[in-house]
Each structure stands twice: as C-alpha cells, then as structure tokens.
Amino acid sequence: MLSRPRFLLLPLLFVLLTALSAAAASPTLLVDVARFRPLAAGDNYEVELYLTVPGNGLTYIKRTRDTYQAGATVALYVLTADGKPVHSETITIKPPVISDTTIGLKNPQSFLRRLTLRGGQYTVKAELKDLYRKTAATFKVEEPLALDFSVTAPTLSDIVFLAKAAGKTTEQSNFTRGGYSLTRTPAGNYGRGAEQLYFYFELYNAPASQPLKLHYHLESEEGAAADADASIAQAKSGRPTAVAGEFPLGPLPSGLYTLTVEVRTAAGKVLASRKAQLNRTKEEYAPAGASLPR
C-alpha cells in the first residue's frame, strides 16, 4: 500500500518503536525501465518506470500487540543530459501489516510511473530509505535512458516480463497497453512455481501487407539454449503492433537468461530484434504485482 509521508512520531516514541522492531537485511530497490512509442508520437516516447521494494530488506516495527509493519520512502528522478530534472517525486511505501516477522517471505511493494518524454539522452535515479532504521544507508540506483528508436525502420519496444499471461481488456490505465492487462514481474524474476515465461512488446514501422513471424531464443549464461516460433497478428503500417508472448520454462535450471525476440519475414530475414535478461530462481518463491499510489 502506498501513502503520503506522515510525520506523527515523537522522538521518544520513535526510540521505543525502534527497540521493538524486527531485524532486517539491507533495503534494496529494483528498477525496471521500458520504452515505447505511442500512436502519432512524433518525437515523444512513453517510458514506464516500475519500481519494487522487497519487503525482506525493511525494518518492521510493532504496531499493536500482535502486528508489525515496515515503511520506506523512494525518491525518483529523471534527468536530462545536462542534469536538469524532467520528473521528480518522493513516494512513501507501507507494506501490509503482518503478525509474524520470523517468516522468510514478506510482500514486496511495487509502483508504476508512465511518463511522456521527448527523444534524447536521460538518466534515471532512484533512492530508497528505510523509515524505521535511520542508521541504514540509502540504497541508490542509477541507469542511463536513451530514447532514440528509428523513425522509419522496423523496431521493437523494450520487452516487459509478466508474472502471468497478458489478458485482453478494454480498460485504460497504467497497467494496460495495446489492449492487454499487464501484471509485471519485478526485475524479470521467475521464482519457484513459475513454469511459464510471459512477456509483452510492441512492433513499430512494420512493412504493410507483408506476412511476418516471430522467433524466440532463450539462452543461459552457461550456453544452454532453447528456441520457439510464434505467429504474429497482421502488422499494421503506421501504428504499433502489440504482442503478448510466452515461453515454457519447465525444467530449466536456476540462473540468468537472455531472451532474444526477432521479427522475421516469411523468407527468414530478420527485420527487428530486442534482447532482455531474466532471472530463473527455483529455490525462492517470488510474488509479483503492483499497487497503485493513493
């Protein structure tokens, strides 16, 4: 659950609550960035920033006799090449109340921002602070963002990894794209119980009236690989073609994998491709999903 910052704790009360808090590992923050070109975008892009705070890294304080809760603040910035902010905000995150802090699994909290930015070079920065452990260091993430898709050649958006299959919908919200409802999985993490890889991407500048097909290639760092082919709906010239794909994970071992998506002609020529990394972690359960800020 997300809420606005609250400054209601007196210093003495804060000390008492901290003394009752549950020990936590170092707080961490996962940042996923996906770039899209909306219809009639001109030189504009839609950039989706999906931020996730794992609950296991936060400090849980005692709220009542049998309940505990954690909290954190996330400062998010998008800067131009010369360091000027085009977006900045600070969000307070409060995970659900729990009754047992000894359990190994504490729910992650995620939120999504969809921004419209002009083409160019940017930097995404995010900083996480634990609300109830002032001695914990601020966790920082920084990564470059290049908005430079071709305006004429066929190209693909970034690949968004999903926790479950994309569902058709007519709803319009931050959690829908291209007529699909999308439930993201943080940092492309597929834990125990996930036997299928789901993902979403868009094709731009597709040639008109030309049959196309998709090829998926999944490869581990150790070189193990698997391939699959899929059909694609008739690409529409002048507008994005939305694709909801999937790939069986089945017995694949834990490890870091790279998914390569290729759009090919009927003769096999590659028109566009995109790569993305995912993490297969069969030893850990990895819940996913997002909550809207309030």
Q: Quick one: average pLDDT of 262-268?
A: 94
| pLDDT value of position 251 | 80
Give residue 209's pLDDT: 78
Q: Which position has the higher pLDDT, 282 or 33?
A: 33
pLDDT at residue 41 tops 70: no
- What is the domain partition of the chain in residue ranges? 1-148, 150-294
Residue 105 has pLDDT above 80, yes or no: no
Taking residues 209-228, report their average pLDDT. 91
**Mean pLDDT across the chain:** 85
Q: Span 58-77, mean pLDDT?
A: 93
Higher pLDDT, 111 or 251: 111
Q: Give the range among 13-17, 18-22, 54-58, 141-145 with minimum mean pLDDT.
A: 13-17
What are the residues whose beta carbons fall under 8 Å from the beta carbon of 294, sequence distance 6 or more?
1, 2, 3
Give the per-residue SS3 of the chain: CEECCCCCCCHHHHHHHHHCCECCCCCCCEEEEEEECCCCCCCEEEEEEEEEECHHHCCEEEEECCEEECCEEEEEEEEECCCCEEEEEEEEECCCCECCCCCCCCCCEEEEEEEEEECEEEEEEEEEEECCCCCCCCEEEEEEEEECCCCCCCEECCCEEECCCCEECCCCCCCEECCEECCECHHHEEECCCCEEEEEEEEECCCCCCCEEEEEEEEECCCCEEEEEEECCCCCCCCCEEEEEEEECCCCCCEEEEEEEEEEECCCCEEEEEEEEEEEECCCCCCCCCCCCC
Question: What are 191-217's pLDDT values in tens digits?
Answer: 888 889 999 999 999 887 788 999 999
Tokens found for residue 258: 């790279």
Structural contact between residues 93 and 72, judged by C-beta atoms closer than 8 angstroms: yes
pLDDT value of residue 39: 64
Average confidence (pLDDT) over 46-70: 92
pLDDT of residue 285: 60
pLDDT score, position 10: 37
Same fold, 1-148 and 150-294: yes
d(CA 258, CA 58) in angstroms, rounded, equals: 30
Q: What is the architecture of the domain spanning 1-148?
A: Sandwich (2.60)
Residue with tokens 């990394």: 277
State the amino acid at position 230 in one-letter form.
Answer: A
Instruction: State the pLDDT at residue 290.
Output: 37
Positive or negative CA dihedral for 185, 281, 261, 228? negative
Does residue 4 carry a pLDDT above 60?
no
CA–CA dist 103, 111 (Å, integer): 24
> 1.20.970.10, 2.60.40.10, 3.30.420.40, 3.60.40.10: which CATH number matches 150-294?
2.60.40.10
Query: Is-above-0.75 flag for pTM?
Result: yes
pLDDT surpasses 70 at 9: no
Amino acid at 290: A
d(CA 265, CA 129): 49
Q: Is the dihedral of CA 215, 219, 223, 226 positive or negative?
A: negative
pLDDT of amino acid 18: 37
* pLDDT band of 17, cuts 50, 70, 90: very low
First vs last C-alpha separation in the chain: 8
Please give the pLDDT value at position 210: 85
- Chain centre distance of CA 24: 24
Residue 174 is predicted with a pLDDT of: 81
